[in-house]
């Protein structure tokens, strides 16, 4: 009897040795987000030696694995867990960095462990084995899980759009920013319209700002290497400026630069099947990700004064892409940001509309009208 009790005691020590020896940090703030929906954690996610481990049953059931003894199997004698999902079979051994995926050995960046009597597993390996894409939101500590096929399709759409928009030759576009406060009727509107012909090095822009009864506007025209603006009488005249066409071209890039600098964006966007039709494909984010703020153009950031404001409460983006040509037709971004100084929430809406892209048209010339 003594030997039996001693054996049980030693076995229990071995069974819990990882949680006792490993550098484990509980992180109740970590959320699991699967295809835009937050998964309620039955157990607290943990960080072990800088790696995120998630409760096995919480994760795999959220990924669509049935929660029963045929699909999630624990072998107490071998200290192994088996996950079966359709044609995918995963075998994990506690404390081992070697796993089997459909019989093939795979090296893990972190082993499965037992913590507080529950099995924790490396999220990335298991998720990708089940054809999911695993991302990480460092702003809000979210594990982002996306269907692998959807992730690939979204990434390809963004890549195609970036390539097509970078090849701009002619452009007509309008950018508008509306900002105000939730409890106030005052709204500021900033609107910029541009016509651009890169081969001819010709551009016309008009910008207007409105707030209450105050209105200010600015027009400019650049052609033939010369820069023109209207004087106080509204008569257009050549104006000295150190701007070159390259400067104006870079300004135009604010309308056409759709490059993705933060790859987390691929994890948070999905195709909006309700708004997508034969003519337009619509991408939208279904996860609130603060990194999207950096995707706003410089004008909007300056107008918002985001660096002086507080917590971003809401942030949504929608891209409307012409399915025939692949170019962006419009972009709509909306935000709600806490402003502690005003004791109110600021709302911001940014809209970009591209009415002409690489079509034949003549840039408006105010000198001849």
SS3 16: coil
- For the chain, the domain total comes to 2
My answer on whether 87 and 228 are in the same domain is: no
My answer on whether 20 and 163 are in the same domain is: no
My answer on whether 24 and 166 are in the same domain is: no
Residue 366 belongs to a domain: no
Which element (helix H / strand E) includes 350? strand 344-357
β-bridge pairing 31-34 and 37-39: antiparallel
Taking residue 108's Cβ as centre, other Cβ atoms within 10 Å add up to 18
Instruction: For 289-306, write each residue's pLDDT tens digit.
Output: 877 665 553 444 554 555
What is the per-residue burial (b if ≥16 Cβ within 10 Å, else e) of 141-175? ebbbbbbeeebeebbebbeebeebbeebebbbbbb
- pLDDT at site 299: 41
Distances (CA, A) of 258 to 4, 254, 261, 295: 67, 9, 9, 9
292 and 306 Cβ atoms separated by less than 8 Å = no
Q: What residues of the chain score a pLDDT lower than 50?
A: 1-21, 297-300, 303
196 and 358 Cβ atoms separated by less than 8 Å = no
Distances (CA, A) of 160 to 125, 169, 232: 29, 17, 45
- pLDDT at site 361: 96
Residue 173 belongs to a domain: yes
My answer on whether 109 and 226 are in the same domain is: no
My answer on whether 245 and 353 are in the same domain is: yes
Burial of residue 135, with CB atoms counted within 10 A of its CB: 0-12 exposed, 13-18 middle, 19 or more buried: buried
Helix residue ranges, H only, 273-365: 298-304
- According to DSSP, the residues that pair with 239 across neighbouring strands are none
How far is Cα 282 from Cα 215, in angstroms, rounded to an integer? 34
- pLDDT at site 307: 52
CATH number of the CATH domain containing 339: 2.50.20
Residue 139 belongs to a domain: no
CATH number of the CATH domain containing 113: 3.30.457.10
My answer on whether 98 and 171 are in the same domain is: no
Instruction: For 103-154, write each residue's pLDDT tens digit.
Output: 999 999 889 999 988 999 988 899 999 999 999 898 888 899 999 999 999 9
Instruction: For 185-218, write each residue's pLDDT tens digit.
Output: 778 899 999 999 999 999 999 999 998 889 999 9
User: Counting every residue, how long is the chain?
Assistant: 369
- According to DSSP, the residues that pair with 315 across neighbouring strands are 335
Collect all residues with Cβ–Cβ distance below 8 Å to 301 and sequence separation of at least 6.
293
Q: Which domain holds residue 84?
A: 2-130
Residue 187 belongs to a domain: yes
**pTM of the predicted model as reported, rounded to 2 decimal places:** 0.80
How are strands ordered across the β-sheet holding 31-34?
37-39, 31-34, 142-147, 132-137
194 and 245 Cβ atoms separated by less than 8 Å = no
Residue 228 belongs to a domain: yes
How far is Cα 160 from Cα 255, in angstroms, rounded to an integer? 16
């Amino acid at each position: 009897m003594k030997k039996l009790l001693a054996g049980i005691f030693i076995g229990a020590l071995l069974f819990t040795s990882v949680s006792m020896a490993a550098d484990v940090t509980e992180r109740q703030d970590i959320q699991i987000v699967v295809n835009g929906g937050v998964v309620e954690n039955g157990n607290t996610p943990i960080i072990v030696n800088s790696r995120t481990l998630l409760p096995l049953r919480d994760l795999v059931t959220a990924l669509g694995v049935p929660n029963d003894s045929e699909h999630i199997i624990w072998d107490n004698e071998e200290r192994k867990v088996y996950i079966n999902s359709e044609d995918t079979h995963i075998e994990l051994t506690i404390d081992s960095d070697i796993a089997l995926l459909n019989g093939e050995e795979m090296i893990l960046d972190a082993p499965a462990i037992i913590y507080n009597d529950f099995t924790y597993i490396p999220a990335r390996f298991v998720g990708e084995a089940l054809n999911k894409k695993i991302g990480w939101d460092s702003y809000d500590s979210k594990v982002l899980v996306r269907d692998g096929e959807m992730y690939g399709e979204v990434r390809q759409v963004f890549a195609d759009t970036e390539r097509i928009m970078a090849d701009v030759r002619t452009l007509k576009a309008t950018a508008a920013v509306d900002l105000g406060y939730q409890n106030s009727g005052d709204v500021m509107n900033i609107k910029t319209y541009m016509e651009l012909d890169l081969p001819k090095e010709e551009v016309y822009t008009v910008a207007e700002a409105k707030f209450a009864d105050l209105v200010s506007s600015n027009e400019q025209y650049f052609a033939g290497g010369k820069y023109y603006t209207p004087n106080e009488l509204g008569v257009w005249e050549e104006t000295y400026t150190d701007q070159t066409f390259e400067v104006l071209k870079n300004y135009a890039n604010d309308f056409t630069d759709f490059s993705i600098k933060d790859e987390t964006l691929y994890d948070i966007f999905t195709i909006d099947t309700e708004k997508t039709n034969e003519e337009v494909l619509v991408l939208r984010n279904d996860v609130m990700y603060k990194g999207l703020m950096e995707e706003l153009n410089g004008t909007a950031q300056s107008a918002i004064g985001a660096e002086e404001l507080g917590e971003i409460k809401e942030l949504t983006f929608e891209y409307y892409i012409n399915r025939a040509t692949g170019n962006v037709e419009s972009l709509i971004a909306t935000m709600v940001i806490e402003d502690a100084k005003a004791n109110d929430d600021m709302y911001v809406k940014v809209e970009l509309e591209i009415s002409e892209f690489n079509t034949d048209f003549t840039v408006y010339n105010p000198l001849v009208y």
